Amino acid sequence: MALPAIDSNGSGVTVAVRPRAARLRSRTGAVRLNGVLFTLPAILLVGFVIVLPLVQAAYYSFTNWNGATASWIGISNYLNMFADPELRRSLINSLSFFISVPFGLIPPFITAYLLHKDIPGNKLFRALIFAPTALSWVVIGMIGRQFFALHGPVSGLFGLFGGTAPNWLADGNYALAAVILTFNAAIFGINTVIFLTGLATVDRSTIEAAWLDGAKEWQVIAFIILPAMRRFVEFVLIITVVTSFTGLFGMIYVMTGGGPGSATMTLDFAVWRRAFSTGAFGAGAAIGITLMAMTLLGIALVRLVMRERNAA
Amino acid sequence: MTVDTVARPPSTALGGGTRTAFIVALVAALASLYPFGSLIVTSILPPLNGHPFQLWQQLFSQIPVGTYMLNSAIVAGGAMVLVSVVSCMAGYGFSKLPFPGSMQLFAVVIAALSVPGATTVIANYFNFASVGGIGAYWAPILMYAAGSTPFSVILMTNFFKALPDELVESAVIDGATYRQVFLRIMAPLAAPAVTTVAVLCFLGSWNDLLIALLWLPDPGQRTISVGVATLQGVRANSIDLILTGSLLSAIPPILAFILFQRYLVSGIVSGMGK
């Protein structure tokens, strides 16, 4: 469209335009080529270490693969998740962790809310509360094991009040409670810090206006602060759900080894036990796929609940 | 009650009750110190008929913790460097150098974020075994780097998207190649984001158990996490020694936390995206 105007200026300009168009064309080529080259390493990593094994796992989950031979057995591995007592227990335990998630959220929120008030030393408090996040699940599991040991601090507290403490980690029901408690204590720091980041984004003038209108503290929290930081609450929920389903292998490995019996086995622990302890790789793959499906369902559930809350 | 709320001083814009807040925060902070305090006290208290620091002596004389720490440093450091380079490159590619299918590939990277490691670990194990990767350092390095790649690529892509396209275009018009633009302009600008990616990958790799346990079965190749976790099988009665080892294993991550705290919070929260 600009061409006639350029033409009227003389042929010299027209000559200058052509190479520019050609350069633009070759630049598109260069952009594409470089785009492929720069993203290729990441694509290869994701392709070979995440996408391909996922497809293989999906296939193996329908076989009785033992590491050497595999034959198609349909959905037996999946049905077995409900029939096999150990796997059924793992499923129930993973769901127990999932159900504990709201309890893992409320103390961090309250702490973050209180820390956000201008109290002396809140920077230091924040750093100290965040610090245990540096610890691995192995170390957390070891601390939990010592904490709930027969002659450990909890039992000592019992003795102080004249009671006789159970051997927490040796008793199935108590062991699961101890592991879930340790998990919730371990995520306290990171959740508090994320809530604090969220609180910092809430508009102060809205809150001040509410105070002036005579709103009560719980009203301000429920109707102004929580809706304003909805994305942060959703994020904390999602990472907590994902961790509770997929991140606990190290903690359970050292704290209870999944026991006593299968009392503290979760699905991610069961993948390891089935596949690498007993050689039932097909069954392990099916547990892994189930684990992923449950994680995705958990995330979808969080999104649904949060969206409804937002719409209401 | 109503009078009270209206009379809140403006300095506590989120409400009054500063004293209660202080006490709760103090209790929470002290409780957060419990794991560190308990590890430190356990490790320096003299065992029965022993002397202080005896556990540290035992740890270093009876268990090759130096080798374990070095192994951890190799795999965590290797994964950290690899994922930093790979995700920085990919972030530049996905944000500034579109090619047919790049949107779809980026969507695959986002989807890969929700694949749990436990789901793919079996197939990965056999794939790596078939190319001689079990018992070789490069294999867990690739595993850790790949595990961090989706999150890191998304973070880096978002970072580069926020930079103006003109930054690239004007340099290219001036005669620079896209590779030069990356090395001389984009990568230096991305240093804070790369730091975040690097620290998160280091922490995740250093603190992992499952992959190190499976990929490095040779006792001489054990990482410190595996060393601590497998100690308990060997010496079931000396939990205090294992706790001392746990404290040793936690020192590098704690140092990383102290040095890079602000990168960590911003990095974790940036995962919220969308």
What does the alpha-carbon distance between residue B210 and residue B116 come to, in Å, rounded to a whole number? 13
Asked if B121 and B190 count as a contact pair (C-beta separation under 8 A), the reply is no
Residue B178 lies in a domain: yes
What is the chain B residue with the closest CA to A188? B32
Q: How many C-beta atoms lie closer than 10 Å to residue A92's C-beta?
A: 13
Based on DSSP, count helices (H) and strands (E) in chain B, helices before strands.
Answer: 14, 0
Q: Is the ipTM of this complex over 0.90?
A: no
Domain limits at B229? Answer: 57-270
Does B112 share its domain with B35? Answer: no
Interchain pair A216, B98: CB under 8 A? no
**Number of domains chain B contains:** 2
* Residue A215 confidence (pLDDT): 85
Residue B92 lies in a domain: yes
The 10s digit of each residue's pLDDT in B10-65 is 444 444 567 888 888 899 999 999 999 999 998 988 777 778 888 898 888 888 99
Does B97 share its domain with B24? Answer: no
Asked if A225 and A202 count as a contact pair (C-beta separation under 8 A), the reply is yes
Residue B61 lies in a domain: yes
- The list of chain A residues with pLDDT below 50 reads 1-17
Interchain pair A271, B121: CB under 8 A? yes
Q: Where residue B116 sits, what CATH number does that domain have?
A: 1.10.3720.10
Does B163 share its domain with B39? Answer: no
* Residue A11 confidence (pLDDT): 42
The whole-model pTM stands at 0.89
Does B23 share its domain with B120? Answer: no
Query: Is the preceding omega at residue A107 within 30 degrees of 0, hence cis?
Result: no
**A contacts of B15 (beta carbons < 8 Å):** 117, 211, 217, 220
Nearest to A246 among B108, B117, B228 (CB): B117
**B contacts of A146 (beta carbons < 8 Å):** 38, 42, 239, 243
Interchain pair A32, B97: CB under 8 A? yes
Does B37 share its domain with B61? Answer: no
Does B35 share its domain with B170? Answer: no
CA B183 to centroid of chain Cα atoms: 25
The 10s digit of each residue's pLDDT in A167-201 is 888 888 899 999 999 999 999 999 999 999 999 88
Enumerate the H helices of chain A as residue ranges: 3-8, 11-46, 52-60, 76-83, 85-99, 101-116, 122-130, 137-147, 153-160, 172-186, 188-201, 204-212, 217-220, 226-228, 230-246, 249-255, 267-272, 278, 281-311
Residue B2 lies in a domain: no
Does B211 share its domain with B263? Answer: yes
Across residues B186-198, what is the average pLDDT? 95
Across residues B227-254, what is the average pLDDT? 83
Does B171 share its domain with B251? Answer: yes
Does B138 share its domain with B224? Answer: yes
Does B149 share its domain with B214? Answer: yes
Does B79 share its domain with B23? Answer: no
Does B23 share its domain with B116? Answer: no
